[in-house]
Structure 1
Amino acid sequence: LTPHSSCLVGDDCSERCNLAHGSCDQDGKCRRQRLALGWLGHLWLQGDRLPNGTLFSSPGHVGHINPLFSLIHNVFFPSDIHICEHQSPCQNGAQCIYDRDGEYSCLCPEGFHGKDCEMKTGPCEKAGSPCKNGGQCQDENGFASNFTCRCLAGFVGALCEHDVDDCLMRPCANGATCHDGVNRFSCQCQVGFEGRFCTININDCASQPCKNGAKCYDRINDYDCVCPDRFTGKTCEISVPEPTWPPPYHPANQENAGGVKSTTSE
């Protein structure tokens, strides 16, 4: 395949300017289209491997490749397609400055700042970071008439100056004491309770305090033992001895009481 004739930098706009891959500028020069598919690939650097397998050895040139990669034309990279002149990223009337290493910087007019001078010196900067407790100041990149503060969780107020009282809803149960924190709270439980909200009654029977087969019933910070027969005490640890009874009482025959004899006369 025979490649299209490419226009050289600074050529007069003539028949040699391939309008399929370039255009005539107002100054009479032939300008290439930077992104014409199959023609202008990218900025080749020294040591880059070209599509035909060879190493490129002329830094600062652009590889012009036909669609089938059969021919490569290295022509000088035109300064007129640098980002500062092709499509300047600088905003708000800023001046784009080429840094010669492929980068750029923007010289911002008074009242603007940022990489591309996209931010205006607005209410946030004038107020000197007014938002408290890590709040983010917002003013539409300086173009808003007033600023607002976007607060971190746990803070409220126009300037995020107030810590939200996380104990306000009384989350702690069973007489626990609530301690407020930043977007959190903690509960100091009464004796006998545990858990985040102190809702869990500690099982005082877990250690099996009742002895001798007694049944344990959990209470609040206490327990009761129901003792079997012949045991007593808090934990049924005391053995009750079997009772000893006196021999049964049998009164004497009262028929001869008092020595009186019964006689029968004939």
Structure 2
Amino acid sequence: MTKEQLVIEIERLLKEPSEKPQFNVCDRLPCKNGGFCKPIGTSDYSCECPQNTTGVNCEKVLVCTLNTCPINAECSISNYQILCTCKHGYVKNQTECEPYDECEHRKPCQNGGKCISLQAAAAVDVTSKLYRCECPRHTTGENCEVVLQCTPTSCSNNANCFVDNHQINCVCKSGFATDDQGDCTVKIRQAHVWGEPHYTTFDGLQYDYQGTCPYTLTKPCNYDIDPKFSIRAQNKVYNFDKRVSVVTWVELTIYGHTFKVHENLTLIVDGTIVSVPYQLFIPGDDKWKVKADISSGQMRITTREHIGKF
């Protein structure tokens, strides 16, 4: 390099600014307690702090102590701050947590229900309710909100409906009993007449009536029974021996008609001999009311209500 070239190079170096060494502000570890430092330009920074710390440099550690929150409050740390939350069954009133009486404030029980506070239980079990309702007998539901009422469809036919003990109850009317399907059907009881003649009553007692007058086998004791009916039997002297008699006919009266079955299996309806099988229909009803047939040498008369089968 010539002398002139050397002078030019020196002048060039003197004119160019010298490069300063690079410096990272986060190298000084300004963020405390596990905070993450993010440089801002070449001279500033910011700290991303853990949830349990606060401050510019995460220098303040948030800690729940016994005295951090008021009585009946629970302490927690979230979003870089200490939170005090009233326990189950308590409500915040300024800086305190006071018992919350849901019965007094919300009055949840309806239709005359009585509200019972469960504050003591709620303080022990956070899943428990703060109240319960003592409901009138004609209501139900958690808040007595359902009023129970009997409607035409509440019970099956032949049943009386009433409301008691927070439920709709169905009781079969007199003369009816609950079957396997829960419906009220005619209560079936059996009495028997046979031989010379022997009578077995509905309650299982046995009698031998040798007289030749008509005997009433059964009829309703209650005039409210519908349909009204009666069954009678007539004895006659057997083999000219007045000490012995046998049944000569049985008579069913129902729906205003009389059905008399004689010992020779003759059926007389309202005084007229009819052929068997036989069915009686009532005007305005397309279903039979009484039918008669012969099976295994016996006359059988059946009603829709199962009254009289012989």
TM-score by structure 2 length? Answer: 0.25
* Higher strand fraction (1 or 2): 2
TM-score by structure 1 length? Answer: 0.28
